[in-house]
Chains A and B, each alone.
Chain A
Amino acid sequence: MVVDPMIAGLGVVAIMGAAATIAGAAEDLESDVGSMSNPNSQVQLAPQMGNLHRIFNKAVSGEPVQMGTLAGIAGAVFFVLFNTLHLPVIMSIAAGAATAALWHVAFATTSHLGRTTSLAQFNQPLFMDVVVEHLGPIAGHGFIVTFCIVGISYLMTLPIVGFNHPFAVPFLAVLWGITIGAIGSSTGDIHYGGEREYQQYPFGGGIPVAIHGDIVRKAELGARNSMDVVNFCAKYGGPVTGLCFGLIVFLSFWSTVVFGAVGGVAVIALILLLLIYLNNRVEVFARTKYGPYRK
């Protein structure tokens, strides 16, 4: 049975969108449990303000750079195993993601130790149980991200109308890794920085400069750690990040597969106008629902 190329293309787009959604959610949760992104500025600042804590702290590079490197490692190992040793696709992707996870664990350990050492002058202790307990979730979430990213990159190179991308899988993986890092850093991490880190203050406003560094250090039971953070952010920040990356991957390819090259560009231009309108509606909703801070 011959499948219509557009139907095959749409099927691949659907799989890519689903994989991107899972990858996006896992990426945000990885940065929450490892405190990777910009909110980590407060984790780093807290001991300097006299607030010692048990939060994991590994932000020694930008989140996009870390994810680009991780995805690039996974993509390169996949490329070798699949093209040279001719292993099955899924097995090659899994082996690539597992190799990247090993690098990820080494990166997380050394960066956390380095970061904490730099805070020794402010009496911030290094908790070995925090290091050991957090490495599993960090590597696990990272594995899911790299598995999905390499999978998306592989699907993009398939000889189907609308795909057949000229870039090699490792390079595509690096590009998508940088993109997903930028997205996770821009969307879900605000839930961690703007809400979870300052949950002891009333909900409904930005974080004034005067309280910077006064992050939440007590949990429902005992001291708060990054497991509590990821447990909270998995309820909103993670899923919306997944939706964001899933939408970007899906719309980028759906438009080309359905409407062709020229039509696809026109459709995305229309989607851009629609997004400007929808964003304005969100802004109006917040204005009418929350009201001003002062008359």
Chain B
Amino acid sequence: MDPLIMIGAVTLGGVLIGGGVHFIPVGGAPAAIATATGVGTGTAMLAAGGGMTGLITAAALTGSPLWLILAAGAVGSALMLAVTMFVGNWVYVWGVGCVPCSAKVDIDPISKYPQDKYVTPGTEGHGIPTVCFVSGVIGGLLGGMGGGLAYWAVYTALIDKLPGYFPLLQAKLAIPPAAALAGIFALGLFFVNAVIASYNIGGTIEGFHDPKFKRLPRGVFACIVASLVTGLIGVLLLKGVV
């Protein structure tokens, strides 16, 4: 693989991850005690959790066409986030006894349900209403696709470098180091861009309807720079493999 294509793929993957994180509704510690809308954990942690599932499903199709790897990564990541948000809402509704609602908008842009009067006084909302849920699924799709793209780029670059490796893999004679290395690279890229996005949104965001979402261009720019550097380091590492 041309080194420039690999750097480009890693950069685009990082941008997709960083951009996707902006869509995921996370409320951090306040959400964990039903004081803020969103999933009750940290941005980077939730994005990484979703990304890992996407990485596992994308890597399961190693050797398939690129579009299929990207699609598998996207739906795997989105599935993790969707099921987590869905079950999280069970706990908010039946465990804590509150109504999923947003404090950032008066009316849910998708379901058109009124929001403000369902917010517990003294809180910033709670649970995951429809608009946050849809936003989270979109974020999962983008993030998983980005992770899958980075994995594919590094894996393909490594396989090109080691022409005798694939037959060994097929014959079950080798532990797959190329897949593991590409996976670890994608894992690192995920954390780098998730943390950058987390800094950009200041820890919590409700989704694409949140005013903080307007910070997206700045976050994407930071992710481009960080992923470009990561891609350059990746190429330097691969040059030293053989």
Contact = CB atoms under 8 A, between A and B. Distances in A.
Interface string A190-209: 11011101100001111111
Contact of B172 (A39, A159, A252): A159
Nearest to A236: B95
B45 A181 contact: yes
B11 interface: no
A166 interface: yes
Number of chain B interface residues as a range: 35 or more
A256 B93 contact: no
A294 interface: yes
B29 A286 contact: no
The secondary-structure label for the interface of chain A is: helix
A247 interface: yes
Contacts of A198: 33
B18 interface: no
Interface string A265-289: 1001101100110111011011100
A195 B35 CA distance: 12
Number of chain A interface residues as a range: 35 or more
Contact of A248 (B80, B113, B126): B80
A23 interface: no
Contacts of B96: 190-191, 194-195, 203, 205-206
Contacts of A186: 39-41, 46, 49, 84-85, 88
A98 interface: no
Given A63-B41, A182-B48, A185-B41, 17 more contacts: A166-B62, A168-B175, A171-B184, A172-B56, A185-B40, A185-B45, A186-B46, A186-B84, A193-B34, A203-B97, A208-B35, A240-B90, A241-B87, A243-B87, A269-B75, A282-B90, A290-B97
Interface of B: 28-29, 31-35, 39-42, 44-46, 48-50, 52-53, 55-57, 59-62, 64, 68, 71-72, 75-76, 78-80, 82-100, 111, 113, 117-123, 125-130, 133-134, 137, 169, 172, 175-176, 179-180, 183-184, 187
21 contacts: A38-B33, A39-B29, A39-B32, A64-B45, A166-B180, A167-B183, A168-B175, A176-B52, A178-B48, A181-B49, A194-B32, A194-B34, A194-B40, A194-B98, A206-B125, A240-B91, A261-B68, A268-B78, A275-B86, A286-B98, A290-B99
